[in-house]
Amino acid sequence: MKTSKMKESRQTRPHKGQGHRKRLRERFLSRGLEGFHDYEVIELLLSLNTPRRDCKDTAKALLKSFKTLQGVVEADLEALCRVPGVGPVNAMGIRLVKAAADRYLEAKILSRDVVSQPRDLLDYLDHAIGFKGREYFVGVFLDAKNRVLACETLFEGSLTTSSVYPREVIARALHHRAAAMIFAHNHPSGDVSPSESDIRITRRLCFALNYADIRVHEHMIVGNHDYFSFASENLISRFNEEFQKNNE
């Protein structure tokens, strides 16, 4: 009888850190993530799949390994699992949060006019590729009213004029029956200044798509919550005018 009571007592006794975890959840439910440190956001996320173990040290270890909250959610499964205390279940949970956020932000821009109202598109691009460790080149396909039909990653890796193929872009645009396009890619360094290669790629795509009667509205470079707009710098209009002069 005594043994049974002791066993029951051990099962119902709150584990170390349960009060701290409860306070984190109550703070989130009352104010969202306002006032949370990055490690507390990660700690709260880890607690969903780790019901009976304190997660603060693991959360801090993740931040130490990947430097920022964005770095943690962008890390691949294998890298996450190398951090002590994470494991495959928590790693999947972290990756699931990123994937769900990407889908949510993409859904917000579908069927929206993102040329006259670009804020949601910028939020999507910043989250989807702004903090990736390698370059991703994205195409946003638009209808005749500049509403988003689809978004696709067209190319990955170091971008050069020899690695971006206009014929493949045109093929995807025709597949989506797009009337216009917006391009975007990230700079992993966080410096969004365009390189000479970026300028050449943009000019080449403007010319190629003009031949297919598909207009290029924009090319954005994103990174570290910053962006560069080829359209705002009048580069897109300059390339389109150059194409028209060459074909008069």
Q: What is the pLDDT of residues 176-221, one digit of tens each?
A: 999 999 999 999 998 999 999 999 999 999 999 999 999 999 999 9
Closest CA to 28 of 14, 44, 39: 44
Sheet with 148-156, strands from edge to edge, namely: 148-156, 136-142, 180-186, 215-223, 226-229
Q: What is the pLDDT along the chain (248 residues), one digit of tens a residue?
A: 555 554 444 444 445 556 777 888 888 888 888 888 999 989 988 888 887 778 889 999 999 999 888 889 888 889 999 999 898 999 999 999 888 888 888 887 888 888 888 888 888 898 888 888 889 999 999 999 999 999 999 998 877 766 889 999 999 999 999 999 999 999 999 899 999 999 999 999 999 999 999 999 999 999 988 999 999 999 999 999 999 998 87
Cβ distance 118 to 97 under 8 Å? no
Residues 26 and 140 in one domain: no
- Number of domains present in the structure of the chain: 2
Task: Report residue 224 CA to chain centroid gap.
Answer: 11
Domain endpoint, select from 74, 103, 132: 103
CATH code of the domain covering residue 53? 1.10.150.20
- The whole-model pTM stands at 0.74
Domain endpoint, select from 103, 133, 168: 103
* CA separation, residue 78 to residues 25, 81, 89, 90, 202 (Å): 28, 5, 12, 12, 35
Question: To which residue do tokens 């279940």 refer?
Answer: 89
Q: Which two tokens stand for residue 224?
A: 């570290």
Q: What is the pLDDT of residues 4-30, one digit of tens each?
A: 554 444 444 445 556 777 888 888 888
Q: Which two tokens stand for residue 75?
A: 């890390």
Range of the domain at 194: 111-246
Asked if residue 7 belongs to a domain, the reply is: no
* CA separation, residue 45 to residues 36, 76, 87 (Å): 12, 16, 13
